[in-house]
Amino acid sequence: MEKFVIEGGKKLSGEIRVSGSKNATLPVLAATLLTDSVCEIRNVPKLRDTMTMCKLLRSLGKTVEISPTKIKISGSANNHVADYKLVSTMRGSFCVLGPLLAKLGKAKVSMPGGCIIGVRPVDLHMKGISALGVKSGFEGGYVLAQASRLKGAQMYLGGTFGSSVLATANVMMAAALAHGETVIESAACEPEIEELGDFLSAMGAKIDGHGTPRIVINGVRKLNGVNYKMGSDRIEAGTFLLMAAATKGDIVVKDANYNHMLALIDKLNSIGVEVNKVGSHDLRIKSRKKLRPANIVTHPHPGFPTDLQAQYMALMAITPGVSLITDRVFPDRFMHIAELNRMGAQIRRDSGSAIVEGVKQLFGAPVMASDLRASAALVIAGLAAKGKTEIHRIYHLDRGYENLDEKLLQIGAKVSREKE
């Protein structure tokens, strides 16, 4: 295994480029199961998760060719079993369920895994495919599902903690080849769903409303191949903004979509950080003033994203005053608290919230990454801390941040990747 070693206290400056969206790429790759024609997808981030999805597609019968600039996928899916060894490592791979049902009429998909950030049931997935006429059950850790023909239906996909991105994606992909019209009420509105809808439309699907709470899909008989470029990763971009804020930096984040990050940008502006558009695709962030603490509550898009909650907590940990951080999406997503406290933070858990008493200075320490976004929070803390921080288990980081150490070196960070 490898670790990050960070010498903190360096102000970040310069330009840093955002990679393609991981959370959008995974369902887009899964959607290639819906066609036998060639799909070429560009701007795919070279991450552990995207490579896992490519392995899963190969196991299902697809031919996958990976080059530095694109991923080319061809051939027919001929295996309906998504194996535990692959699906258990990454929750996003569960979105092969919908396209397998649409293409092969049956699917046996392992229950998903991924980061340990709290209970993430698949009930909305099952509710959605059941409405399309699928009979399903559970056996030996797998979801078993079958349908002679998918039929369009109207359904409500709201859950206890809001809508589900992956459940919405699974239903969209299944409904694309279903007979008749499907209406998804309380659909996820995340940009990743909008991107999937654009990709399916480019393949010939008839979809309206993706990116809104009501999506209408009119099934077609066949989908075509496509040449498509993935949009940028809003969570990576947001992480870079928070890194600059924590280090009193001045950086330009290239290929960042301003419209996808309004909740974060509004919060940063309110605490004293300047974030401005530079041209049509870049953002400049300057953090020179004394920052003010501010509460956040995470919600599904367009609310403050749960995937930036840990990183924001790292910033509040060094912002004098008290802030309250509440996660309405994953109320148990607080495993990073203990590791931040090892560095001198003063954070305590209170049910689904964290109370952060900001300190003047964090201090470098050996810490352990528990999940993907917690890892990013520890990087932010390490960049801002005094002294050396060692972050262990950085394979979590490699699941969601492409060449993070190399990118940080370009903007003045002192970070190295070393063997344990």
Write down the H helix ranges in 284-412. 309-316, 336-342, 372-384, 395-400, 404-410
| Helix-, strand-, coil-residue percentages of the chain, each rounded to 5 | 35, 30, 35
Catalytic residue (choose from 39, 54, 115, 189): 115
**Non-local CB neighbours of 394 within 8 Å, separated by 6+ positions:** 1, 2, 3, 4, 369, 375, 417
Active-site residue, 115 included = yes
Q: Do residues 73 and 39 make contact, with C-beta atoms less than 8 angstroms apart?
A: yes
Q: Do residues 107 and 68 make contact, with C-beta atoms less than 8 angstroms apart?
A: no
- Burial of residue 167 (CB within 10 Å: 0-12, 13-18, 19+) is buried
Q: What is the DSSP string of 142-203?
A: EEEEE-SS-B--EEE-EETTEE-HHHHHHHHHHHHTSBSEEEEET----HHHHHHHHHHHHT
Torsion of CA 100, 73, 231, 282, to 10 degrees: 160
- Burial of residue 418 (CB within 10 Å: 0-12, 13-18, 19+) is exposed
- Alpha carbon separation from 208 to 219, 253, 254 (Å, rounded): 12, 31, 30
Beta-bridge partner residues of 286: 250, 274
The three-class DSSP label of residue 321 is strand
- Residue 376 to residue 117: CA distance in whole angstroms: 14
- Residue 84 to residue 243: CA distance in whole angstroms: 36
Bridge-based pairing of strands 226-229 and 39-42 is parallel
Which residues are catalytic, by number?
A: 115
